[in-house]
């Protein structure tokens, strides 16, 4: 089962470039695609975007022209890979439909990572933001029904429940409480490193996506909702990127990126059910194996270090898989809804003093209008109820069961907020 | 690939220190960096204490020790000497150095321990309390001196960060802190809690039957080892332990709303093999009984250890302590018998030589 890309032979770099015809892949059929096939594509697009942007940043910090050329060569292939994957999304999938896919990634990816994270602190980091992305899915599902008159389970299937998480209105925190403690790669578990690289890329792409497409609707409520949730994604990128090892050198990071991409495609190729898409992932894995080899060579040449000393494990033990995580998400909902960030830790919101910077920030940004609450109110007005998909029984948090109560419903958050106001 | 930079082969490996010096990395304030390290290692200590999964503890311990060693080495090299130069900080720096020495001694002792021993956990607890006290003092006294003193905390932070990473990498290369590569298969992931619960309950019932069988085996010997006073005393103690084990198991089983007797036969077939060796009365029965008792005690220990894993996977925290106690008792009997195999055999031969049949 274990797979070590360092022991494999990849596709030679010169054979990696593709024609426009090859890159302009036939999109999937939106009525036929498996929801997790959609999420895999969204995740891998995020991984490639990170690969490209990281390479650009590294190039800007590189004085040696020859190394810049090497980076440019790798980067051109990564950019092609990004096109091949992102162009799987069909043009008739609307912006909110793609958005629902992004949030399904956030829920089921984060839940998988949390369950495969050995370090208790990092597990808390994942569980914490999981509940927030889970709430975004609910908000967007209601926006979808409100604007396009359709139900989100047509996109997400019944694989992921859609119901309130930590209400988005309460997710807005002072930026200083978003910074977590960093890991040290030489001291960290190999899986922890892979997990962190995955989530940073995924959340970063969600941030990029909302900052770009959030203005594509005419309806003010849609524009406002994207603006509000888009800023939470900015918070999440700050939250997640702060667990990365800040002491890693540019070459270590390049190496880890390529190593990580091998894991991603190795996983996706095993998990994918559509044979055409699986073939694409297998092809990309072959390319990444070669990119990893080049990154190893660069590290040896410039830093005089043995890459195998840095890479966390002898190989990958287990592939990342998209699977339904309903029971896990419910357990986290039941136990951790009231948490908020405080410095680098997580504390119950009920323990914060009333003049805490959390409440000051809340008052500043929420003012007298919360788009993500308004979406629910408006959809309830239109359809007589909010949209929910609760397949496993009533909501695990009692205060979030009734759609009568809004403004964060009857949670400790809401009570604490009222007390602070 | 073409050579990227001429004659780089002769150069030193690029170090974090060099990147920091060249302004390619933003340096940390030394007090912030060290405080983050403190929170991380305290979290790892808590993780160690909070799990009864030996596999987790075994891979966590070298990580804790490596992180502490790297952290202390960097502090001693770049922070303490500087602080010691200030009148306000001399005493703090000296005390901190002494505390490091104590911690290092504990780490040294730990490195000589097998991670499976209970003594290891006691040492870890000792190390944790030493480190916790040290951190409290350092953060309140030494750090406040550092922040008031005319020092470039970022420059010191850069040196500490670089030294710490170098030490970590070196420890990794030396193999002293290399994470085990097989631990993935031991991680409590991809587990269905309800499944673990089912196996826990089934296992508890089987353990109950097994323990009853073990009790019969021990009880049958107590009266027949008059000539082996040491063995007799241990067996008597263990007979009482067996009764307590049964009571503990019954409480746990009842807690899950089941009756222990329902599946009592399930484990008999295995234990019966062991018991058969012991049942036959013969001249050398005391010797044979040693084999059987040792096998039975080890069998029980294996069963209890597995039950602990199931209980942990099932999230049944209240079952952990009683099962741990059962495990220690069975291990205790096993190691007693094992250590006394020679004594028992010698005594047996002596008694025969005395022309006296070994008393039953």
Indicate the helix (H) or strand (E) that contains A345: strand A345-348
Domain B193-353 annotated CATH 3.40.190.10: no
* Alpha helices by DSSP H, A61-160: 65-86, 95-115, 120-148, 153-156
Cβ–Cβ gap A120/B43 under 8 Å: yes
Contact list, A313 vs chain B (CB under 8 Å) = 179, 181
Does residue B169 sit at the A interface (CB-CB below 8 Å)?
yes
* Structure-model confidence comparison of residues B31 and B195, the more confident one: B31
Residue B257, min C-alpha distance to chain A (Å) = 24
> According to the model, what pLDDT value does residue A304 have?
86
What is the value of ipTM here, to two decimals?
A: 0.74
Q: Using an 8 Å Cβ cutoff, are A316 and A4 in contact? A: yes
Contact list, A314 vs chain B (CB under 8 Å) = 181
**Residues sharing a CB contact under 8 Å with residue B302, sequence separation 6 or more, in sequence order:** none
Going from N- to C-terminal start, the domains of chain A cover 5-329
Alpha carbons B36 and B52: distance in angstroms, whole number: 26
Instruction: Please report the residues numbered 284 through 343 in chain B whose beta carbons come closer than 8 angstroms to any beta carbon of chain A.
Output: none
**Is pLDDT of B350 > 80?**
yes
Contact list, B179 vs chain A (CB under 8 Å) = 189-190, 312-313
Going from N- to C-terminal start, the domains of chain B cover 16-186, 193-353
Cβ–Cβ gap B24/A61 under 8 Å: yes
pLDDT along chain A (421 residues), means of 10: 89 96 96 97 98 97 90 98 98 97 98 95 98 98 98 97 97 97 92 97 98 96 98 98 95 96 97 96 98 95 88 83 96 96 95 95 95 96 95 93 66 77 67
What is the reported pTM? 0.74
* DSSP letters for B210-271: HHHHHHHHHHHHHTT-TT-HHHHHHHHHHHHHHHHHHHHHHHHHHHTT--GGGGTTTTHHHH
For A347, list phi and psi in degrees, rounded to 5: -130, 160
For the stretch A292-327, pLDDT in tens is 999 999 999 888 889 988 886 578 989 999 999 999
> According to the model, what pLDDT value does residue A421 have?
67
* DSSP letters for A346-386: EEEGGGS-TT-HHHHHHHHHHTT--HHHHHHHHHHHHHSS-
> According to the model, what pLDDT value does residue A386 have?
95
> According to the model, what pLDDT value does residue A37 have?
98
**Is pLDDT of B190 > 80?**
no
**Is pLDDT of B261 > 60?**
no
B59 to chain A: nearest residue by CA?
A: A189
Residue B40, min C-alpha distance to chain A (Å) = 8
Residue showing tokens 């130069």: B85
> According to the model, what pLDDT value does residue B320 have?
85
Question: What is the percentage of chain B residues whose pLDDT exceeds 70?
Answer: 83
Pairs of CB atoms within 8 A across A/B: 94
Residues of A with CB under 8 A from a CB of B: 61, 64, 66-67, 70, 115-116, 118-121, 181-182, 184, 186-187, 189-191, 246-247, 249-251, 294, 297-298, 301-305, 309, 312-314, 317-318, 344-345
Q: Using an 8 Å Cβ cutoff, are A177 and A342 in contact? A: yes
> According to the model, what pLDDT value does residue B42 have?
95
Facing residue for A184 by CB, picked from B13, B39, B168: B168
Q: Which two tokens stand for residue A152?
A: 């989100």
Residue A313, min C-alpha distance to chain B (Å) = 7
| Dihedral class, residue B59 (left if φ above 0, else alpha if ψ from -120 to 50, else beta) | alpha
Q: Which two tokens stand for residue B269?
A: 């077939």
> Which of A148-152, A410-414, B199-203, B289-293 has maximum average pLDDT?
A148-152
Cβ–Cβ gap A186/B47 under 8 Å: no
Alpha carbons B170 and B38: distance in angstroms, whole number: 21
Facing residue for B169 by CB, picked from A182, A189, A309: A309
CATH of domain B16-186: 1.20.120
> According to the model, what pLDDT value does residue A261 have?
98
For the stretch B103-141, pLDDT in tens is 999 999 998 876 667 788 899 999 999 999 999 999 999
> According to the model, what pLDDT value does residue A391 have?
95
**Is pLDDT of B17 > 70?**
yes
**Residues sharing a CB contact under 8 Å with residue B331, sequence separation 6 or more, in sequence order:** B297, B301
> According to the model, what pLDDT value does residue B259 have?
67
For A340, list phi and psi in degrees, rounded to 5: -135, 165
Does residue B154 sit at the A interface (CB-CB below 8 Å)?
no
Indicate the helix (H) or strand (E) that contains A341: strand A339-342
> According to the model, what pLDDT value does residue B8 have?
46
Alpha carbons A171 and B302: distance in angstroms, whole number: 48
Facing residue for A247 by CB, picked from B165, B177, B187: B165
> According to the model, what pLDDT value does residue B180 have?
43
How high does pLDDT run on average in chain B? 83
> According to the model, what pLDDT value does residue A310 have?
86
**Is pLDDT of B277 > 60?**
no
Cβ–Cβ gap B4/A301 under 8 Å: yes
Instruction: Please report the residues numbered 12 through 71 in chain B whose beta carbons come closer than 8 angstroms to any beta carbon of chain A.
Output: 12-14, 16, 19, 24-26, 28, 36, 39-40, 43, 46-47, 50, 56, 63, 66-67, 70
Facing residue for A249 by CB, picked from B4, B5, B14: B14
Cβ–Cβ gap B13/A246 under 8 Å: no
Measured CA distances, B167 to A118, A187, B164, B173 (Å): 24, 11, 5, 10
Contact list, A297 vs chain B (CB under 8 Å) = 1
């Amino acid at each position: 089962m274990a797979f070590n890309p360092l022991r494999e032979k990849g596709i030679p770099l010169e054979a990696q470039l593709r024609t426009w015809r090859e890159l302009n892949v036939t999109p999937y059929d939106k009525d036929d695609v498996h929801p997790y096939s959609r999420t895999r594509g969204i995740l891998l697009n995020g991984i490639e975007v990170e690969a490209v942007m990281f390479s650009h940043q590294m190039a800007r910090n590189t004085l040696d022209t020859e190394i810049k050329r090497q980076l440019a060569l790798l980067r051109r292939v990564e950019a092609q890979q990004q096109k091949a994957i992102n162009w799987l999304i069909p043009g008739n999938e609307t912006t909110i439909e793609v958005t629902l896919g992004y949030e399904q990634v956030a829920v089921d990816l984060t839940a998988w990572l949390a369950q495969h994270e050995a370090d208790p602190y990092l597990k808390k980091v994942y569980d914490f933001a999981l509940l927030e992305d889970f709430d975004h899915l609910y908000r967007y599902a209601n926006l979808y029904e409100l604007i396009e008159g359709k139900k989100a389970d047509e996109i997400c299937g019944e694989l992921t429940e859609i119901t309130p998480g930590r209400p988005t209105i309460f997710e807005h925190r002072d930026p200083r409480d978003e910074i977590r403690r960093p890991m040290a790669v030489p001291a960290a578990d190999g899986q922890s490193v892979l997990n962190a690289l995955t989530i940073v890329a995924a959340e970063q792409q969600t941030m990029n996506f909302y900052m770009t497409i959030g203005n594509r609707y005419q309806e003010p409520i849609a524009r406002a909702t994207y603006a509000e949730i888009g800023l939470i994604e900015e918070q999440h990128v700050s939250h997640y990127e702060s667990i990365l090892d800040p002491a890693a050198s540019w070459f270590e990071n390049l190496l880890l990126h390529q190593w990580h991409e091998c894991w991603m495609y190795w996983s996706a190729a095993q998990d994918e059910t559509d044979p055409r898409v699986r073939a694409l992932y297998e092809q990309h894995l072959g390319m990444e194996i070669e990119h990893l080899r080049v990154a190893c060579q660069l590290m040896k040449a410039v830093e005089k270090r043995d890459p195998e000393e840095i890479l966390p494990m002898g190989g990958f033990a287990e592939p990342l898989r998209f699977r339904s995580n309903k029971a896990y998400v419910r357990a986290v909902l039941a136990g951790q809804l009231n948490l908020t960030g405080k410095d680098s830790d997580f504390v119950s919101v009920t323990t914060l003093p009333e003049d805490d910077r959390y409440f000051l920030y809340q008052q500043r940004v929420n003012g007298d209008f919360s788009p993500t609450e308004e979406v629910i109110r408006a959809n309830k007005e239109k359809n007589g109820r909010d949209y929910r998909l609760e397949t496993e029984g009533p909501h695990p948090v009692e205060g979030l069961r009734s759609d009568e109560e809004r403004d964060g419903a009857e949670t400790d958050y809401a009570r604490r907020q009222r007390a602070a106001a | 690939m073409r050579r990227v930079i001429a004659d780089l082969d002769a150069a030193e490996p690029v170090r974090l220190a060099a990147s920091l010096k060249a302004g390619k990395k933003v340096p940390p304030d030394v007090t912030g960096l060290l405080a983050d390290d403190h929170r991380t290692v305290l979290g790892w200590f808590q993780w160690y204490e909070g799990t009864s999964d030996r596999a987790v503890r075994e891979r966590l311990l070298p990580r804790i020790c490596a992180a502490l060693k790297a952290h202390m080495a960097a502090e001693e090299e770049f922070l303490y000497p500087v602080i010691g130069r200030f009148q306000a900080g001399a005493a703090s720096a000296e005390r901190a150095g002494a505390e490091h020495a104590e911690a290092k001694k504990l780490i040294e002792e730990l490195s000589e321990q097998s991670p499976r021993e209970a003594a290891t956990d006691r040492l870890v607890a000792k190390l944790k309390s030493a480190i916790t006290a040290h951190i409290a003092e350092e953060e309140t006294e030494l750090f406040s001196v550092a922040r008031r003193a005319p020092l470039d905390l970022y420059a010191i932070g850069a040196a500490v960060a670089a030294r710490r990473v170098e030490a970590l990498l070196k420890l990794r290369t030396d193999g002293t802190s290399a994470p085990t590569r097989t631990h993935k298969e031991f991680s409590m992931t991809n587990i269905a809690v309800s499944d673990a619960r089912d196996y826990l309950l089934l296992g508890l019932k089987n353990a109950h039957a097994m323990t009853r069988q073990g009790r019969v085996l021990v009880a049958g010997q107590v009266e027949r080892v008059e000539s082996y006073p040491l063995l007799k005393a241990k067996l008597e103690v263990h007979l009482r332990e067996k009764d307590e084990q049964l009571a503990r198991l019954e409480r746990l089983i009842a807690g899950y709303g089941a009756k222990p007797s329902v599946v009592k036969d399930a484990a008999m077939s295995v234990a019966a093999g062991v018991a058969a060796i012991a049942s036959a009365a013969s001249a050398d029965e005391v010797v044979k009984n040693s084999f059987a008792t040792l096998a039975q005690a080890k069998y029980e220990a294996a069963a209890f250890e597995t039950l602990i894993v199931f209980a942990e996977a099932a999230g049944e925290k209240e079952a952990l302590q009683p099962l741990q106690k059962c495990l220690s008792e069975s291990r205790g009997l096993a190691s007693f018998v094992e250590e006394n195999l020679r004594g028992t055999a010698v005594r047996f031969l002596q008694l025969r030589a005395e022309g006296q049949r070994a008393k039953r």
